[in-house]
Structure 1
Amino acid sequence: MKRIFQAAFTTAVLLAFVSTPQSVTAALPASDSQGEPLPTLAPMIERTVPAVVNIFTRTRVPQRQHPLFSDPFFRHFFDVPEQPRERYTQSLGSGVIIDAENGYVVTNHHVIARAVEIAVNLQDGRTLQAELVGSDPDSDLAVLRVEQDGLTALPFADSDQLRVGDFVVAIGNPFGLGQTVTSGMVSALSRSGLGIEGYEDFIQTDASINPGNSGGALVNLRGELVGINTAILSQSGGNIGIGFAIPINMAREITEQLVEYGEVRRGHLGAQAQDLTPELAQAFGLENRPGAVVTRVAPDSPAAKAGLQAGDVLVAVNGRPVRSATDVRNAIGLLRIDQRVNLKVVRNGETRTLEAVIREPATAAVQAGKLHPRLAGASFGNLPEGSRLAGKVEGVLVTEVDRSKAAWKAGLRPGDVITQANRQSVTNLQELERAVKGSNSLLLNIVRGNGALYLLIR
């Protein structure tokens, strides 16, 4: 206990010294017996915590049964009672009130995914039923709405101004204990490539984030919202000092669309890119500089109409520097349909600026049963450029699977990417149709999550 106290006290004293004079005054309202000010974040916390809520969800989960229990003759003969086909589970999370007048609460998609009931518990003890306004699995954000007067919302900071070393506070509901506050600092920015979400541009912090903190607030010392706590990196499931939050600038773009449309309507540029490695930079005759190399431009796409070409090196999108292909994907994924985007590229050693207009992506989903009867119940589509696998994997995306149909029983799941069919590589629906046509059985090579597997369907 002594070591913990010393660490906490040292951090508090450091906060006092690094703050501006005004923030020091605001953070030091108390005095000790000698009249000396005591470092504390209590005034800021007291203003902030009413805007952070605890979220409780109830979810229906299919109950796995032995096949004999589905046989009415077996149940009748052995007098087996009807078995429940579903069970209910409960989960906990956190959320942040971002609009007190309209009752909007932002949280993580994974907190409310598949929930049939959502309750929000306010800091003053009130419990409210919440309705889902919209959610976006790719960014792991969701917006809820509650009807209640007297709500408190958090003001937004500009997360683009964050620096490594800035002090931050995480507020949430870890392990269902109730509202809890932890402090730390920004330990890294723009973390991506973790495979946690489809769109990643995380703030990394050592402020303790644990299960139940998901969807909670990451605030600066002024009590402004800088991020939405989302994930931790841990082998044990508990905090080890590496937590991740979605920057609030990114969250604002997503939540505005969720409120307006109930979903995120991502636009289509029609280009794919990969990271500019030092070896590629040398091959293109460039100095070792950050960027992303355009690997493919779809015909008649907005990128093609803007004059973008394979081999161009993207160095900025709408004035923001590009350090990797992930930066390009994140920037385009936040743009709305019909929005203009400026692309700064290097081509043959010359820098030029191109302007494209983001368009609605063409949907080309098909019922898989039309391709082959053993695939009945699934829907396939071409892998969209916004997918986290775009540029890394080529194949056909499984968009939906009916649990009662043959495709589900064969092992197909939504989100699978079919890269081979009957030992033939497939990059689009047309190639898949040719590969399975006329065959009695199907051998599919599938990318699922971070792994791959073969499925033999007979």
Structure 2
Amino acid sequence: MKKAFSYLGMAVLGGAISLGGYQLLLDKDVKAADSLPKNRLETIPTNYTTTYNKVNSVETYTDFTVAAEKTIHSVVHVKNTAVRTQTNPWAELFYGSGRGTRKYEQVGTGSGVIISADGYIVTNNHVIEDATDIEITLNNQKKYAAELIGTDPTNDIALLKIEVDFDLPYTPFANSDSVKIGEWVLAVGNPYNLTSTVTAGIVSAKGRDLEGNRNIESFIQTDAAVNPGNSGGALVNTRGELIGINTAISSKTGSFIGYSFAVPSNIAKKIIDDILEFGKVQQAILGINVDLTYKGEGVKIAGISELTEKTKTFDLKEGDIITRINNVKITKFSDLKGQLTAKRPGEFVDVTILRDGETFVKNVQLSKSVERYIASSFNWELKDLNNDEKKKMSISNGVKIINSDRDGEFYSLKGYIITKVNDKKVSNARETAQLLDKLSTSRQRVFIEMLNEEGEIERYIFQ
């Protein structure tokens, strides 16, 4: 019995020693966990961005709520309705002329930006092109019929107007030349008919010219999500000021895949001012030809153009390299085009040029371009006749051929006056050029009556 108690006592003593040792080790482990370094990574909320805690670091915070609140009430939904005609040639053949024709309505949607309290709205030309009715829906869901004031297809801008009896919220213009690459921007519009949609991104590039696009060559590029329906909507800075009109996306699918493009606000504003004052856009030019083969920084002058309203060149010469317009750096042709598109004929600009290794600044007055009307199928450049020319030739109508691909040859028609096309009198150079191209494309015979330089009638058949 004593031996049994002895074994029991030894077992109890061993258990006590083991328990004490285990508690001692556990206490040390707990204390080690409590004494983690105080500068460990912090857990932070995910609804804002902070910086790491470093010496001399400054915490930055970009708030988009003010810009969004200012803009969503001035961005509108634009609905356009166009009446189309569809012809079934088989029905025409079997049932007679007019029996295979039907009219139908085609509806398109996009966005627009209210730019004044009295109801002027800017959008893209392609949003309302060929529309017979335009309807505007405000952010409060009220609907208004819109009047088309004017368009500029070249820069894809259109101006609308709605009549209201109260002041509308509007987005003020900002100076798009001051926009910087990397700056935060918001795109506001109605993608897929989802009203008042706001997306954020940064300015990825400026003066962007899209391959294959010969009209607009000075976009602001952003990575703010833009989808079908956003066209004509606002691109604003973090203060809620308009810096661009969202116009296009680069996509193989038709939806946003990373880049969007906007017409700069300076260009849009200038176009709107021209439409309101003159009824059409006044295109300003320097009066130069550009060397498009030049690969260096800047724009190289290839020559002085004669197709300007003024003949002064203000000492610009062939071989000069333009590096700045006023205080804006010019690195490529699209930069120059963007600056000129935002200016009016008659304005003076400071042109910084590099000539023979030296820098000069020339104060140049911008000219007005002479619009050219070219019948591509015939390689003829046409112009309207003035009253003196009509009086000299004793005619009441006609269009003059001022250039052709046969200039200098015996059978050149340069200087001839077209009086009739397919027995129809012509008097407008633009319409005549379009008519000749249309007839040529349809492979119809073209009968043209002309006056030669001696005033004699000559008739030609082209097919």
Please give the TM-score of this superposition, normalised by the length of structure 2. Answer: 0.68
Whole-angstrom distance in 2 between the partners of 1:401 and 1:90: 29
Q: Which letter maps to 2:287? A: G
- For structure 2, the 5+ residue unaligned runs are 1-44, 53-57, 372-381, 385-398, 402-416, 445-457
- For structure 1, the 5+ residue unaligned runs are 1-8, 28-40, 279-288, 383-396, 412-436, 442-457
Is the 1:107–1:215 Cα contact (8 Å) retained in structure 2? yes
Counterpart in 2 of 1:452? none
Q: Which letter maps to 1:243? A: S
Aligned pair in 2 of structure 1 residues 141, 22: CA closer, same or farther (>3 Å)? Answer: same
Whole-angstrom distance in 2 between the partners of 1:15 and 1:244: 30
Aligned pair in 2 of structure 1 residues 13, 377: CA closer, same or farther (>3 Å)? Answer: farther
Q: Which letter maps to 2:123? A: T
* Equivalences for residues 343-422 of structure 1 within 5 A: 343-363=351-371, 364-365=382-383, 370=418, 400-401=434-435, 406-407=439-440, 409-410=442-443
Which residue, 298, 304, 318 being the options, matches 1:291? 298
Counterpart in 2 of 1:14? 49
Q: Which letter maps to 1:327? A: D
Note the alpha carbon deviations across 1:368-427, whole angstroms, 9 max, x for none: 893995898999979xxxxxxxxxxxxxx9953489x6345239xxxxxxxxxxxxxxxx
Which residue, 308, 317, 327 being the options, matches 2:316? 308
Q: Which letter maps to 2:81? A: R
Give, in angstroms, the shift of residue 168 of structure 1.
Answer: 1.6
Give, in angstroms, the shift of residue 103 of structure 1.
Answer: 0.9
Counterpart in 2 of 1:97? 114
Q: Which letter maps to 1:57? A: N
Identity %: 32
Higher Cα radius of gyration:
2
Q: Which letter maps to 1:267? A: A
Q: Secondary structure at the match of 1:365?
A: strand
* Equivalences for residues 192-341 of structure 1 within 5 A: 192-196=209-213, 198-275=215-292, 277-278=294-295, 290-299=297-306, 301=308, 302=310, 304-341=312-349
Counterpart in 2 of 1:173? 190
Counterpart in 2 of 1:48? 71
Note the alpha carbon deviations across 1:114-135, whole angstroms, 9 max, x for none: 1111110000010011111111
Counterpart in 2 of 1:30? none
Aligned pair in 2 of structure 1 residues 182, 172: CA closer, same or farther (>3 Å)? Answer: same
Counterpart in 2 of 1:115? 131
* Equivalences for residues 125-164 of structure 1 within 5 A: 125-148=141-164, 149-164=166-181
Give, in angstroms, the shift of residue 342 of structure 1.
Answer: 2.8
Two-structure CA RMSD over aligned residues (Å): 3.6
Counterpart in 2 of 1:421? none
Aligned pair in 2 of structure 1 residues 68, 82: CA closer, same or farther (>3 Å)? Answer: closer
Note the alpha carbon deviations across 1:243-277, whole angstroms, 9 max, x for none: 11112122222222122223211134321113574
